[in-house]
Structure 1
């Protein structure tokens, strides 16, 4: 069937989804990559090649009928559609309706239309840290970790991940079986990572000094978006070729990003673009906690008149300061994954985008756009 596969990428116009679409379009065994997204940026269709057509369809995963239409004739779904909201600026019910309800709709449509393969984009936030802020130090997919997840976003991703894993092996309407697996990205950087643009401009506004929240002994993994996308491409392909091995499995993302300290990753990226950016100092927890409370009070006071730019949330800060890292080669063992992009390539691609996106902007311009 090579050359005739039809893939659907939900959320395919997003940060990670677009990169998945780009890499899928380069695979000669795929006839069509269909994108289903509430944003539906038609420029994503530029990835169309001589052998693979990319088509964009506008729709919300909460709309089951639209999703059914988009999934007609599809063989593989890569489900990335989600509200990623770690600052708690989106109501939990809305985030749940997309992240959990949308996943339910996708799985229901797979069973109705006999779509046999699903790769689900989850998150390390689906595992932890928990509300007790217990660390996980270089764990793997088999590491036991319990407790209520700290981030509301993580709670919705844990719920959707559970749905996908429970759906593995479910009977399709034609008598076949649904085969699913899950990928858990960690902190993802790369082109169009808007948080990098914000932090770079913030450092420029502070005379080139980049302060940071993470204690220096905190470990968290970072992975380039292209390598996370490549892991999705390989997992989807091998879900078809080796279903008995990948079915019902979970995979953490990883690559050769040289440090588990996110503030050092950011500094290397920024300094590569602008050598004047200097590493500043650690911001104490109590200080950022106090700033969050003051900002919350200001928002309440000003709410009838204006909406101040969203700030950090306490759950997000608790997550940032807690060690939560993994060390695994499961993806390499199960489906031959190795990073498609080296650290130097990842850094170059990221900084080239950052130069174009933020290099000519003043910090005041960014704040104006957000307001």
Structure 2
């Protein structure tokens, strides 16, 4: 059936989703890539190639009718749509409705329409850190780590993961079986990463100095968006070719981006775009804690008249300062994953985008994306 497959990417106009669509459109075994998103971007439709058509369909994954219409005739679903919010700008109920309820809709629709393959884009935030801020140091997919997840966003992703894993093997209406797997990105950088634009603007406002919050011995993985997307493409293909191996599996996303001293990684990314940026100093936890409390008080006072810009909160601060890293080659062993882009290539591609993105020095959109 090569050359006749129809893939659908929920959230395909988003940061990771758009790159997934771009790489899928370059695969000659795919006839059509459908994008289901609450935001329509013309540049995504323009990813159509000589062999693969890209079609963007506007809709919300909470809308059952619109979702069914988009999925009709699809063979593989990559479910990347989510509300990504770590700053408490989206109420938890809305986060849950999109990230959990929307995932339930996608899985139910696949069962009704006999779509046998689903790749779910989760997050390392679904694992931790937990509310006790216990570190995970270079773990892997089999590392045991418990406790309530610190970030509300992460809690919704953990709930969705549970639903996706429970759906694996579920009967389709034609008697077949649903096959699912999960990918967990960590801090994803690259073209379109709003947090990098935000960091750059903050550094320029501080006379070209980039300060940082995490202690120097903290570890956290960073992965280039192109490599995260490539892992999705390979996982989806091999979910079809080797369902017995990939079914019900979870994979951390990784590449050769350095994991130690994340502030150095961010400085390298920004300094490649603007060599005048200097690495500053560590901001103590207590100072940031006080600033968060002060911001909360000011917000309560001003809220009836004016809503201040989103600021760091304690769950996010605790996440930033807690080591949460992994080392794994599971994706390589299971479906032959190798990063499509080296650290050097990833850094320079990111820098080219950042130089263009900050040309107007407009502040980035901080609110969570909804699909």
Query: SS of the residue aligned with 1:119?
Result: strand
Question: Which residue does the alignment assign to 2:168?
Answer: 168
Question: Which residue does the alignment assign to 2:18?
Answer: 18
1:309 maps to 2:306: no
Q: Give the TM-score normalised by structure 2.
A: 0.97
Question: Which residue does the alignment assign to 2:288?
Answer: 288
- 2:221 and 2:258 in contact (8 A); partners too: no
Closer, same or farther in 2 for the Cα pair 1:27/1:370, shift >3 Å?
closer
Q: Deviations over 1:153-177 (max 9, x none)?
A: 0000000011001000000000000
Between 1 and 2, higher relative CO (CA 8 Å, sep ≥ 6) is seen in 2
Question: Which residue does the alignment assign to 1:331?
Answer: 331
Matches within 5 A, 1:82-93: 82-93=82-93
In structure 1, what is the Cα distance between the partners aligned to 2:325 and 2:359? 32
Closer, same or farther in 2 for the Cα pair 1:134/1:370, shift >3 Å?
closer
Question: Which residue does the alignment assign to 1:94?
Answer: 94
Query: SS of the residue aligned with 1:142?
Result: coil
Q: Deviations over 1:51-89 (max 9, x none)?
A: 000000000000111100000000000000000000111
Question: Which residue does the alignment assign to 1:260?
Answer: 260
1:366 maps to 2:331: no
Pairwise CA RMSD: 1.2
Question: Which residue does the alignment assign to 2:35?
Answer: 35
Matches within 5 A, 1:1-371: 1-361=1-361, 365-366=362-363
In structure 2, what is the Cα distance between the partners aligned to 1:348 and 1:270? 10
Closer, same or farther in 2 for the Cα pair 1:338/1:370, shift >3 Å?
closer
- 2:209 and 2:280 in contact (8 A); partners too: yes
Structure 1 unmatched ranges of 5 or more: none
Query: SS of the residue aligned with 2:215?
Result: coil
In structure 2, what is the Cα distance between the partners aligned to 1:246 and 1:261? 32
Q: Offset of 1:271 from its aligned partner?
A: 1.2
Moved over 2 A (4+): 258-261
Q: Offset of 1:272 from its aligned partner?
A: 1.1
Query: SS of the residue aligned with 2:248?
Result: coil
Q: Offset of 1:360 from its aligned partner?
A: 4.2
In structure 2, what is the Cα distance between the partners aligned to 1:67 and 1:257? 36
Query: SS of the residue aligned with 1:138?
Result: strand
Q: Deviations over 1:78-133 (max 9, x none)?
A: 00000000011100000000000000000000000000000000000000000000
Query: SS of the residue aligned with 2:260?
Result: coil
Q: Offset of 1:262 from its aligned partner?
A: 1.7
Structure 2 unmatched ranges of 5 or more: none
Count of matched residue pairs: 367
Q: Give the TM-score normalised by structure 1.
A: 0.97
In structure 1, what is the Cα distance between the partners aligned to 2:13 and 2:313? 27
Q: Offset of 1:298 from its aligned partner?
A: 1.1
Q: Offset of 1:301 from its aligned partner?
A: 1.1
In structure 1, what is the Cα distance between the partners aligned to 2:314 and 2:89? 12
Q: Deviations over 1:149-202 (max 9, x none)?
A: 000000000000110010000000000000000000000000010110010011
Q: Offset of 1:366 from its aligned partner?
A: 2.3
In structure 1, what is the Cα distance between the partners aligned to 2:366 and 2:200? 15
